[in-house]
Amino acid sequence: MNTKSLTDWDKVRAMQDEEIDTSDIAPLDDHFFKNAKLRMPEGKTLITIRVDSDVLEWLKSQGKGYQTKINAILRTYMEEVQDR
Q: Model confidence over 46-74: pLDDT tens digits?
A: 999 999 999 999 999 999 999 999 999 99
Using CA atoms, how far residue 46 sits from 6, 32, 52, 68, in Å, is: 34, 35, 19, 13
Q: Decide: helix, strand or coil at residue 54.
A: helix
pTM for this entry = 0.48
Answer for the pair 67, 75: CB distance below 8 angstroms, yes or no: no
- Which residues, other chains included, contact 51 with Cβ-Cβ below 8 Å and sequence gap of 6+? 70
Between residues 44 and 83, the one the model is more confident about: 44
Average confidence score pLDDT of the chain? 89
